[in-house]
């Protein structure tokens, strides 16, 4: 059943995936005074989280890597003038998304003229078959779960991704996605409704229901 090694293995997994904000601030302060070590640690801590985020919106590996290079190079070049705009997590996600959108628009100029909202180039693409792990697909409930994530809109998916997988607040998400805060609340509560219907009767429904009441 539940033994200590279960806890410990999850602990390791979680600490490497989710960073501790106090420590982030410390790294940030040290980055600002030119500490290379702090800079490299921030890079190491965030590069894969941002990469993952970028890859969900465009499957162009090289483009996402270009944006990461520019993001971190700028961060170092401008370290002395960096502000303390909320959490480091938020700052990086927001700046990265902006860069990615600028690059996506620039790329389109060479093919079709671009019309509409700049942010509409940033789309949260549903996970493809090959990206679902085999053992996960075996489980009926997980198939349902995958199905339900795919039934969300792009914006709902992005909001859920930022809120529950990257620990960003409603306010931060509203700034990142350039939406009003109440729209973010709506997006997330609608997403939870969708998940609730899709997952009715499963254990996961019970968990989600308890987690996000109302």
Partner 1 sequence: MDENFRAWVWNPTDESNQFWRSWIANHPDKTDEVYEAISLLNKLSFPNYRLTEEETSSLWHDIRNFSQSKKKVVSDKSSSFGWWLGAAAGVILATVSSLLIWNHDNTISYETAYGETRTLLLPDSSTVILNANSRIVLSDDWNKNATRKVWLAGEAFFEVVHTRNHQPFQVKVGDGLAVEVLGTSFNVYHRESDTKVVLNSGKITLTYPEAKEEKKIVMKPGELVEYKEDRIVKREVDPTMYASWTENKIILNQTSLLEMIRMAKDNYGVEIEVASEKMLTQTVSGSMPTGNAENFANQIARVFQLQIIRENNKILLHE
- The string of DSSP codes covering 6-22 is HHHHHHHHHHHHS--HH
Q: Which of residues 25-64 bind partner 1 (CB under 8 A)?
A: 26-27, 30, 33-38, 40-41, 43-45, 47-48, 51-52, 55-56
CB 155 within 8 A of CB 177: yes
Q: Is 178 exposed, middle or buried (0-12, 13-18, 19+ CB in 10 A)?
A: middle
Interface with partner 1, residue 136, by CB under 8 A: yes
Minimum gap (Å) between residue 16 Cβ and partner 1: 7
Q: Which stretch binds partner 1 (CB under 8 A): 6-14, 96-104, 115-123, 173-181?
A: 6-14
Q: Which two tokens stand for residue 6?
A: 């279960």
Contacts of 30 (CB under 8 A, 6+ apart): 37, 38
Among 60, 63, 76, 181, binds partner 1 (CB under 8 A): 76
CB atoms inside a 10 Å sphere around CB 172:
23
Q: Which is nearer to partner 1, 114 or 123 (CB)?
A: 123
Three-class SS state of 197:
helix
Q: Which residues bind partner 1 (CB under 8 A)?
A: 1-2, 7, 10-11, 14-16, 18, 20, 22-23, 26-27, 30, 33-38, 40-41, 43-45, 47-48, 51-52, 55-56, 65, 68-69, 72-73, 76-77, 127-128, 131-132, 136, 139, 141-142, 145, 149, 157, 161, 164-165, 167, 203-204, 206-207, 210-211
């Amino acid at each position: 059943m539940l033994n200590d090694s279960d806890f410990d293995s999850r602990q390791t997994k979680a600490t490497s995936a989710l960073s501790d904000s106090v420590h982030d601030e410390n790294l940030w302060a040290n980055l600002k005074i030119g500490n290379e070590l702090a800079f490299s640690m921030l890079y190491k801590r965030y590069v894969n989280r941002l990469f993952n985020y970028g890859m969900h919106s465009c499957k162009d590996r090289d483009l996402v890597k270009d944006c990461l290079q520019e993001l971190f190079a700028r961060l170092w070049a401008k370290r002395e003038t960096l502000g303390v705009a909320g959490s480091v997590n938020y700052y990086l996600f927001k700046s990265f998304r902006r860069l990615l959108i600028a690059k996506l628009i620039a790329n389109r100029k060479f093919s079709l003229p671009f019309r509409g909202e700049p942010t509409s180039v940033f789309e949260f693409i549903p996970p493809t078959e090959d990206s679902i792990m085999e053992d996960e697909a075996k489980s009926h409930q997980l198939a349902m779960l995958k199905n339900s994530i795919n039934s969300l809109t792009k914006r709902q998916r992005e909001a859920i991704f930022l809120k529950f997988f990257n620990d960003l607040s409603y306010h931060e998400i509203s700034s990142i996605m350039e939406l009003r805060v109440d729209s973010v609340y709506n997006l997330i509560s609608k997403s939870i409704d969708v998940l609730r219907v899709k997952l009715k009767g499963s254990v996961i429904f019970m968990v989600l229901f308890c987690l996000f009441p109302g």
